[in-house]
Amino acid sequence: MKKNERRWLWLSLGFSLLVLVIILFFTVDANTFALLQKGDPLFFLLAMLIHIVALCVWALRIKWMSWGLGYKVPLLHCINLVFANLLIAAITPSQAGGEPVRVHELYRAGVKVGDATAIVITERILDGFVLGLGGAFFMLVLGSMWQQIGSVYSYFLYASWIMMTAIALLFLYSVKNPLVLKRFLLRATRYIARVRGKTKMEKYEQMIDREVDNFHSTLSMFLSQGKTGLFLGLLCTACFWFLEAVIVSVILVGLGQPPIFIESLIIQLIIAIIMMIPLTPGGSGIAEILFTSMYSIFVPTSLVGILVVLWRTILYYLNILLGLLGSLMIVRREAAGKDSE
């Protein structure tokens, strides 16, 4: 790991731990320990297993989407690239920061760069589609039930749903008209070049022109030849987010509390959307505060601090450990490849 990445990792960990300590200070009391004695730690292990299964479903999504474009990427390779992606996502602003790792690892598995980029971007589109559809479901079907979490978050969910729908429509338009995407990327590249004082841009402009064409043709393949892979990817996306939302209810059962499936689906939807905004490395601090403020409506105050610690242990600290493991596997593979040359 590079020095800069280590610094971001320690900053992310430090900020998360600081917020957790503050939350525990204000929530733990004598009643907390009495409630903990009724708990069953096996449910925490079950919640951890569910998260790992969800990550494997993510890897299966990548495998099937690659298969839809005619590539045979081994499932174990997909699992490792998902693990390695988790580390970068934990140290970059927002949790949507591991895309370059996934593109690189798909390329190493024999997928063209343009195709790998299209697969990874389409993953995010499927995430946005599922989350947006979930938001629409809660707003239209559940009525005022989901508004129990507070008007501020309710308005945010409305705004996020509108924004994600607009981005999806804009993206579909740019797919149909690739020149729009080319102009946008060229303008962005030229602006960055001016800021950095660079003048020779022919190489980058040619690369953008080539990769946008590859990307456009790949998405066209998804919508024609790769429909099955895209559909299977959509099913995996829905399964992934459902499993992630169930984790909190499993932990609650382990703490001797009743599960809150519907409320958890609503809260996890809001947290997932907010965590995509680049505010802090890995969303550290933000996730803990959001979780505590919303779950405190449904969970006893004496337990909400313990709940957020256990939840964050699974969805953040475990991710870092798995990310380190996946990154180590990649480093060993690259080193072995250089030795054999």
pLDDT tens string 195-225: 666 656 666 677 777 767 766 776 777 777 7
pLDDT of 2 > 80? The answer is no
Query: For position 36, what pLDDT does the model report?
Result: 79
Closest CA to 66 of 118, 128, 108, 19: 118
Query: For position 1, what pLDDT does the model report?
Result: 58
Matching residue, tokens 């559909």 = 231
Question: How far is 48 from 247, CA to CA, in rounded Å?
Answer: 8
Question: How far is 307 from 274, CA to CA, in rounded Å?
Answer: 20
Token pair for 207: 């690369």
Task: Please give the average per-residue pLDDT across 251-257, as a whole number.
Answer: 90
Confidence bin at 127 (pLDDT 50/70/90):
confident
Q: Residue 142 — φ and ψ, nearest 5°?
A: -85, -10
Question: How far is 183 from 105, CA to CA, in rounded Å?
Answer: 28
Closest CA to 281 of 82, 22, 1, 7: 7
Question: How far is 90 from 74, CA to CA, in rounded Å?
Answer: 25
Mean pLDDT computed over every residue of the chain: 79
